[in-house]
Structure 1
Amino acid sequence: MEVYLDNNATTMVDPEVFKAMEPFFCTIYGNPNSLHKFGAGTHPKMVEALNYLYEGINAADEDDIIITANATESNNTVIKGVWVDKILNGNKNHIITSEVEHPSITAVCKFLETQGVSVTYLTVNEEGILDAQQVKDAIREDTALVSIMWANNETGKIFPIAEIGAVCKEAGIPFHTDATQAIGKVPVNVQACNVTYLSFSAHKFHGPKGVGGLYVQKGYELTPLLHGGEQMGGHRAGTVDVASMVGMGLAMHLATKPEALEFENTEVKRLRDKLEDAILELPETVVIGGKDNRTPNTTLISIRGVEGESMLWDMNQKTIGASTGSACASEDLEANPVMNAFGSDSELAHTGVRFSLSRFTTEEQIDYAIEVIKNAVKRLRTISSSYAYTPKHHVSEL
């Protein structure tokens, strides 16, 4: 049996989405910017896709949604655009973010620091979150942007976006959130949360890879990351991938319907909890960040005495896919930075395994995964030169 439990890295394309995309490869293939009927033939489905995107995040009609290649491009567009507009060409020189952001945020901020920009990296508590007061306390007169993710890609922890948005609105500072891991798992409402910019990727909610979006609130402009033609109203040059745009729109629609979100927060959560509880029956195991305030599909579990990479190897031999954290950092063998940020000790920081489910995960798959995982832990602990179980270190005391 094959079991895919790495849906925070990417998801399978929903078959309904794939079917909707097919005509745009060989039948309705015109360039949407061309004036002839071949180009115009793409427009109805593009409009429908945009409407789905607006509805999915409750954007207002006068706001913009720019089609990008992925959330990484969207994140870069926001931060580098603010750098050009507010820092190089303005009187601001400060950005606020958190220490557990996706690498497409932290790497850009580290780059901007080499250019003289001041960046504040807010710390998270032992539960892996921060509060709006930390943001308020960090704001300075020269703060140009606050960028805090909606939900963490490794732990699933949900941040207080509405409260942070209110703080930023009161201070008159643009607020960006990377909602890549939130869409399709929890309700996302840009108007209610006072969001200025929001990033997302289609492949995280059963859409195609290679396409994403950037929401921009009315009244805010950004210097484009890509210059060239006048596509996307001049905000992002390059011929639009119509098939992917159509797929992303439908995927957004399917993932954000009330009944879909209800399924995530009941059935997907139930299966996640079943897997999690079974692993926690093993001694010296712990959910990083705790069980509260998470997306319903995600758990990051530390298994003392078992290297995360070794655990993945054993599971892979039994055709189960999981992760030690962000796929974007999977080649980095250093201790998990998110677990370090939570205050995990050096040994524990190497033992985290992330399991992330989807609406296509079945009970049979979870039952099989539980059996394999328990056997793998037993085997790996038996051959470990450093692990020796003692009751005083049981999970209840960690």
Structure 2
Amino acid sequence: MTTDISPARADRLDAEDELAAFRERFVPIGDPGVVAYLDGNSLGRPLRATAERLRELVEHEWGGRLIRAWEERWLALPEELGDELGRVALGAAPGQTIVADSTSVCLYKTLRAAAALRPGRDEIVTDTANFPTDRFLVESVAAELGLTVRWAESEDVAAVAGPRTAVVTLSHVDYRTAAITDLAAVTRVVHEHGGLVVWDLCHSVGSLPVELDAAGADFAVGCTYKFLNAGPGAPAFLYANARHHAAFGQPVTGWMGAADTFGMAAEYVPAPGIRRALSGTPPVLGMVGVQEGVALLAEAGIGRVRAKAVALGRWVLALADAWLVPLGFTIASPRDDDRRGGHVTLRHPDAERLSHVLIEHGVLIDFRRPDGIRIGLSPLTTGFAEVRRAMDRIRELAG
């Protein structure tokens, strides 16, 4: 049976889309040459509310209250926003998530903390195809602590983890293929071996439900500028399960993570709970985008967001099978909806050159070496007709 990929079907899918109205919440794309924006899995589009909120903060909170705003509002933001992010997107009870730093810094903190919680164990396990920052940091932390790095495929942790494993760190969703790793199953296997897990949620948060508490997760980190649309360089987040808080010692011991921030004590005493994960002054301006992105996700509902991500993925696969596979493209992402995250990756022998051509012609996608073209599907901003136009343009330019 032939799948209907007509313009009329694309229009019907858009008309039936429960999230279609949310597209109006975003700042319009200012470049008339853009056919489709399919890179929201790298950088989400800006919200109108973020621009308004930034103006309000500059004029009233910062401009009006000046330094008084720290005590009145800003000092509590990392924990307040972390709790809301945990509730809306992470399946995390209050007091376990904090907004701070970059993903790289948060990952360094959690890797060091997790390793310290497993003294006498001398191995860190990670995925051979994990995101470069994750792999680089694993090697850096291993070198600092005199540990050995063991390499595995994400689904082969059971074959690699053992009595010497201190920490396993993996990405929940593969940044190249969008393959979803079974977070709960991997966590269970690592715990059976006595190790701890640090999860990278960069390509899952805001795109699919994450249930950290239910899975018994130890630590997690992630960014907010992809599916949460918080803006370029927006602060990241760090999750630490409450059962680890008493012994949680992170290595970047700045004043904001101290028990008495303004005590100017001679020695560092960590704050109770998740606040001890902080280091320097919170990036208040950057947190505005996180706040608005999380609020929009709460309104839309992660269940509806996930349902649309699945539908968009199916749509890309149908269009690719009909138009692009005959031109030499292959599908790198899982076809099973339950195993595919929020993007679809197409492979092509000439992908790097073709990616530049596509971007020049208004199809904003992402290239990943050696031969991957990522079709990013951000459910709150991406439409079905938009995707069809983009895939048609790819067919035209690759043919």
Q: Distance in 2 between matches of 1:45 and 1:145?
A: 30
For 2:348, the aligned partner's letter is I
Please name the residue that 1:365 is paired with: 386
Select which of 229, 253, 258 maps to 1:227: 253
For 2:231, the aligned partner's letter is P
Query: Structure 1 279/140 Cα, relative in aligned 2: closer, same or farther at 3 Å?
Result: same
Return the offset for 1:113: 4.7
Tell me, yes or no, if structure 1 residue 209 matches structure 2 residue 232. yes
Select which of 61, 76, 90 maps to 1:28: 61
Return the offset for 1:150: 0.7
Which deviations, in whole Å up to 9, do the C-alpha atoms of 1:325-363 show, x marking residues without a partner?
A: 2xxxxxxxxxx3xxxxxxxxxxxxx33211112121233
Q: Distance in 2 between matches of 1:38 and 1:68?
A: 16
Equivalent runs, 1:370-389 vs 2, <5 Å: 370-378=391-399
Instruction: Provide the secondary structure at the position in 1 that maps to 2:61.
Output: coil
Tell me, yes or no, if structure 1 residue 352 matches structure 2 residue 372. yes
For 1:323, the aligned partner's letter is D
For 2:376, the aligned partner's letter is S
On the 8 A contact 1:186/1:295 being kept in 2, the answer is no
Q: Distance in 2 between matches of 1:216 and 1:71?
A: 14
On the 8 A contact 1:13/1:203 being kept in 2, the answer is no
Please name the residue that 1:12 is paired with: 45
Q: Distance in 1 between matches of 2:65 and 2:112?
A: 28
Select which of 187, 202, 206 maps to 2:209: 187
Tell me, yes or no, if structure 1 residue 144 matches structure 2 residue 144. no
Greater share of helix: 2
Query: Structure 1 15/302 Cα, relative in aligned 2: closer, same or farther at 3 Å?
Result: same
Which deviations, in whole Å up to 9, do the C-alpha atoms of 1:4-42 show, x marking residues without a partner?
A: 2122221112323443444223321289997x4663144
Instruction: Provide the secondary structure at the position in 1 that maps to 2:43.
Output: coil
Q: Distance in 2 between matches of 1:166 and 1:179?
A: 18
Select which of 119, 125, 134 maps to 2:149: 119
Which deviations, in whole Å up to 9, do the C-alpha atoms of 1:181-228 show, x marking residues without a partner?
A: 011221101011111101111101211232110000113244334332
Return the offset for 1:252: 2.7
Query: Structure 1 38/192 Cα, relative in aligned 2: closer, same or farther at 3 Å?
Result: closer
Q: Distance in 2 between matches of 1:254 and 1:372?
A: 31
Q: Distance in 1 between matches of 2:238 and 2:64?
A: 22
Q: Distance in 2 between matches of 1:106 and 1:38?
A: 37
Q: Distance in 2 between matches of 1:107 and 1:38?
A: 35
Question: How many residues are matched?
Answer: 340
Query: Structure 1 185/234 Cα, relative in aligned 2: closer, same or farther at 3 Å?
Result: closer
Query: Structure 1 30/235 Cα, relative in aligned 2: closer, same or farther at 3 Å?
Result: farther
Q: Which runs of 5+ in 2 are unaligned?
A: 1-32, 258-273
- Of 145-154 and 50-59, the range deviating more from structure 2: 50-59
How many percent of aligned residue pairs carry the same amino acid?
A: 17
Select which of 72, 77, 91 maps to 1:40: 72
On the 8 A contact 2:204/2:210 being kept in 1, the answer is yes
For 2:362, the aligned partner's letter is T
Return the offset for 1:159: 0.3
Tell me, yes or no, if structure 1 residue 291 matches structure 2 residue 311. no
Return the offset for 1:289: 4.5
Return the offset for 1:43: 6.3
Query: Structure 1 79/275 Cα, relative in aligned 2: closer, same or farther at 3 Å?
Result: farther
Select which of 138, 149, 157 maps to 1:109: 138
Select which of 318, 323, 326 maps to 1:282: 326
Return the offset for 1:136: 2.8
Instruction: Provide the secondary structure at the position in 1 that maps to 2:111.
Output: helix
Which deviations, in whole Å up to 9, do the C-alpha atoms of 1:81-101 show, x marking residues without a partner?
A: 344x257xx322101111121
Instruction: Provide the secondary structure at the position in 1 that maps to 2:44.
Output: coil
Which deviations, in whole Å up to 9, do the C-alpha atoms of 1:98-144 show, x marking residues without a partner?
A: 11211121011223454542111113xxxxxx43xx32332232211
Instruction: Provide the secondary structure at the position in 1 that maps to 2:289.
Output: helix
- Of 170-179 and 10-19, the range deviating more from structure 2: 10-19
Tell me, yes or no, if structure 1 residue 155 matches structure 2 residue 177. yes
Instruction: Provide the secondary structure at the position in 2 that maps to 1:354.
Output: strand
On the 8 A contact 2:81/2:98 being kept in 1, the answer is no
Return the offset for 1:241: 1.7
For 1:51, the aligned partner's letter is D
On the 8 A contact 1:70/1:202 being kept in 2, the answer is no
Query: Structure 1 74/112 Cα, relative in aligned 2: closer, same or farther at 3 Å?
Result: closer
Query: Structure 1 352/247 Cα, relative in aligned 2: closer, same or farther at 3 Å?
Result: closer
Query: Structure 1 252/171 Cα, relative in aligned 2: closer, same or farther at 3 Å?
Result: farther
Q: Distance in 1 between matches of 2:80 and 2:63?
A: 17
Which deviations, in whole Å up to 9, do the C-alpha atoms of 1:218-239 show, x marking residues without a partner?
A: 1324433433213473422211
Q: Distance in 1 between matches of 2:80 and 2:92?
A: 15
Please name the residue that 1:67 is paired with: 99
